Amino acid sequence: MSIGFLDLGNERLEYLRIAPDRHGTPLVFLHEGLGSVAGWRDFPRKVCDALNAPGLLYSRCGYGQSTQLAAPRAPDYLHREAWVVLPALLDALGIAQPFLVGHSDGGSIALLYAARFDPRAIAIMAPHVFVEEVTLEGIRTARAAWNEGKLRDKLSRLHTDPDGAFFGWNDGWLSPEFRDWNIERELEFIRCTVLAIQGYDDEYATMEQLDRIAAGLARGAAPPCELLKLDACGHAPQRDQPQAVLAAIATLYARCAPRNEHD
């Protein structure tokens, strides 16, 4: 595995391909609001190895070693990522009908992508479809920790510009314009199977996020949403309950990928 870079318009995106010569549906990993290629740690490799599948992860603009942000994030930045950047990235790398794995902001991006495009399936961890007060309180707590000097060193190991990564996320979510952000109306346009995972101890959301996702999908033509609600689990299920998460993803992948792709 080695880091590569791809130029898309004015953005230069860091990406990493896992075993691209393997047959099968590629898993594409979409990171959280403070994540990056490095921020995933070894989770994508473990999933791809367990499934004997190829994988791709990338750092969005403003994260990792990708181009730094040139302006504050607009309230529609997740929509733009899902409907403009991600499709262009997949097309440039020759990936069609991926199996998306998204965490937090990445989970929201996966849902938005599936509302307009045709992924094989999506597995999302701690996604958001509307703004809760507990979410904002968690983000305010993160800002206090930043101001106390508790986050910058950690983020500097994941991002070329840790200040830009943090404030791009933090300022965006705490802006008054973002308070009414809601993507529930897009859920009825999703046609693929969705596995939604969340911990009961998530410090950034309640289970209402998953319940609203299930209800939104039920209004459309998607198969029933598969929910996995985990005890002893916070905002990062892939770190707090990795075995349960991997098993659930593996089951969905085996069912949704054509049989000849596993041979």
What is the block-wise mean pLDDT of the chain (263 residues), using blocks of 10 residues?
89 97 96 98 97 97 96 93 98 96 98 97 98 97 96 96 96 95 98 98 97 97 96 98 98 81 43
Task: Round to whole Å and give the CA distance between 174 and 152.
Answer: 19
Q: Which residues lie closer than 8 Å to 6 by C-beta, 6 or more apart?
A: 12, 13, 15, 58, 89, 92, 93
Task: Round to whole Å and give the CA distance between 19 and 53.
Answer: 7
Number of domains in the chain: 1
pLDDT confidence of residue 1: 63
pLDDT confidence of residue 223: 94
pLDDT confidence of residue 262: 43
pLDDT confidence of residue 263: 42
- For the four alpha carbons of 153, 144, 105 and 241, in that order, the dihedral sign comes to positive
pLDDT confidence of residue 244: 98
| Nearest partner of 109 among 90, 122, 93, judged by Cα | 122
Rounded to the nearest 10°, the torsion over CA 109, 114, 120, 121 is 60
Range of 131's domain?
Answer: 3-261
> Alpha carbon of 15 to those of 30, 105, 234, 246: distances in Å?
11, 18, 27, 22
Assigned token pair, 114? 């599936």
CATH number at residue 184: 3.40.50.1820
pLDDT confidence of residue 2: 73
